[in-house]
């Protein structure tokens, strides 16, 4: 590896270290209570170094969200490309979403479970070409495929997609925070029950 490639790798590693530290601090202390200086202290660099990579705290949070959406989209895109019954493909996607959240709880909480901070451009992430909406498009396409194949009733695909997302987000969030003391049934049993119930509600 040449010196240029080594420097690029070191820069990318530091950038990722900054993102990881920011995500952890946002979750632990709340977005409003975290400063760029505090992030710099956590990774033992000067604040000036942080500003070489990110212009402000809002951009850091945005990049944390983008990273989550990119990882999730990779998982869902692979499933979307698989042949076979559209209902089974949809179910696999819903289960994959929940398991993604459980396997990446810090990413999921920072992206989907933190209150939207003041000044954060949430509308930007609602645009059709945003990483978040591209991930949501997996759900839209899967629901539309099921309707076209006659597997679902003639329902509003947008309403059904949002309903499905509300359901799987709910179970993902509850399992992440664990709801101490609640007598959960087996996790896999709960996940499959939620997915089956959602799908059966609109099946033809």
* Cβ-Cβ contacts under 8 Å for 189 (sequence gap 6 or more): none
pLDDT for 128: 72
Q: What is the mean pLDDT of the chain?
A: 89
Least confident range from 5-9, 45-49, 105-109: namely 5-9
Of 127, 91, 132, 90, nearest to 108 (Cα)? 132
pLDDT, tens digit, 9 for 90 and up, residues 149-175: 999 999 999 999 999 999 999 999 999
Task: Quote the pLDDT of residue 129.
Answer: 73
Average pLDDT score over residue span 162-190: 90
User: Among the CATH numbers 3.40.50.1970, 1.10.357.10, 3.40.50.1820, 3.30.70.1340, which is that of 58-200?
Assistant: 1.10.357.10
**Mean pLDDT calculated for residue range 32-58:** 90
Q: What value does the mean pLDDT take over residues 4-15?
A: 87
Q: Per-residue pLDDT for 126 more than 90?
A: no
Query: Is the separation of the CB atoms in 143 and 157 below 8 Å?
Result: yes
pLDDT of 88: 95
In this predicted structure, what is the pLDDT of residue 39? 93
Q: Which span out of 54-68, 155-169, 172-186 was modeled with the highest average pLDDT?
A: 155-169
Give the pLDDT of residue 125: 64
Q: Give the pLDDT of residue 5.
A: 83
pLDDT over 90 percentage in the chain:
50
CATH of region 1-54? 1.10.10.60
| Mean pLDDT, residues 61-79 | 88
What Cα–Cα distance (Å) separates residue 23 from each residue in 34, 43, 64, 71, 199?
A: 10, 12, 7, 15, 34
CATH 1.10.10.60 domain range(s) in the chain: 1-54
pLDDT for the residue numbered 121: 66
Residue intervals in the chain for CATH 1.10.357.10: 58-200
Q: Is residue 122 predicted with pLDDT exceeding 70?
A: no
Q: Rounded to 10 degrees, what is the CA torsion of 20, 23, 27, 30?
A: 130
148 to 89, 155, 183, 204: CA distances (angstroms): 14, 11, 40, 11
Tell me what the mean pLDDT of segment 71-82 comes to.
Answer: 86
Q: Name the percent of the chain lying above pLDDT 70.
A: 94
DSSP assignment of 77-110: HHHHT--S-HHHHHHHHHHHHHHHHHHSHHHHII
Instruction: Provide the pLDDT confidence category of residue 15 given band limits of 50, 70 and 90.
Output: very high
């Amino acid at each position: 590896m040449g010196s240029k490639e080594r420097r690029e790798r070191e820069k990318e590693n530091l950038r990722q270290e900054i993102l990881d530290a920011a995500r952890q601090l946002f979750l632990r202390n709340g977005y409003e209570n975290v400063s760029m200086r505090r992030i710099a202290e956590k990774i033992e660099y000067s604040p000036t170094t942080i500003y070489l990579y990110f212009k402000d705290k809002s951009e850091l949070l945005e990049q944390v969200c983008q990273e989550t959406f990119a990882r999730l989209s990779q998982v869902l895109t692979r499933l979307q490309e698989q042949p076979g019954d559209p209902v089974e493909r949809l179910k696999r996607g819903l289960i994959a979403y929940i398991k993604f959240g459980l396997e990446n709880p810090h990413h999921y909480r920072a992206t989907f479970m933190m209150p939207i901070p003041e000044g954060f451009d949430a509308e930007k992430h609602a645009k059709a070409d945003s990483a978040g909406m591209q991930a949501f498009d997996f759900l839209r396409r899967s629901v539309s495929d099921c309707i076209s194949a006659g597997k679902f009733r003639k329902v509003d695909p947008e309403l059904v997609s949002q309903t499905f997302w509300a359901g799987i987000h709910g179970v993902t969030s509850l399992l992440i925070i664990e709801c101490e003391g609640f007598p959960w049934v087996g996790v896999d049993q709960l996940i499959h029950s939620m997915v089956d119930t959602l799908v059966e509600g609109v099946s033809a």
